[in-house]
Amino acid sequence: MKELELDFVWLDAATSGDLPLPSYASSGAAGMDVAAALHEPLALAPGSIALVPSGFAVAIPPGYELQVRPRSGLAIKHGVTVVNAPGTIDADYRGEIKVGLINLGPATYQIQRGDRIAQLVLAQVSQARIRVVQELDATCRGSGGFGHSGR
């Protein structure tokens, strides 16, 4: 497994000292859990969306992104997920990492300071060079779209 260094900075170290840095729950985990840096509990009503702060910013190496993904337990047990999953944090962004959450569940969900709300996955990216052609290569699938391969 390839390891890269990510530089994190607490945006207000005096008020973030009780929060953990993003971390992997196990040696084989792909994502680092992110804690909510809320100053007071947040009641996320069914159908509502909230932007939850993390309290930190990060420097991502060029050629990489951080993907913001849901935590499976939060999504399955409570219906709380990342609204734009997966969200992308670009290598040149230096602002606070915030997580857009949506409650798709039937009940209001309470988010407390320090709750693990999402996970960050470091992923390598490539930029495409767009080329206009007269026609595309043929494939077996062709232009068959949504649901074309059956149930």
Residues in the chain where the model's pLDDT stays below 70: none
pLDDT in tens, 78-95: 999 999 999 999 999 999
pLDDT of residue 9: 95
Q: How far apart are CA 143 and CA 56, in angstroms?
A: 44
Are 67 and 47 in contact, with CB atoms under 8 Å apart?
no
Q: How far apart are CA 18 and CA 95, in angstroms?
A: 21
Which residues have CB under 8 Å from 69's CB, separation 6+? 31, 82, 85, 86, 87, 118, 119, 120, 121
pLDDT of residue 142: 78
Are 109 and 127 in contact, with CB atoms under 8 Å apart?
no
pLDDT of residue 13: 87
Count of other CB atoms within 10 angstroms of residue 94: 11
Count of other CB atoms within 10 angstroms of residue 9: 13
Tokens coding 8: 């994190």
Q: How far apart are CA 15 and CA 20, in angstroms?
A: 12
pLDDT of residue 79: 97
**pTM of model > 0.85:** yes
Q: Class assignment of domain 7-124? A: mainly beta
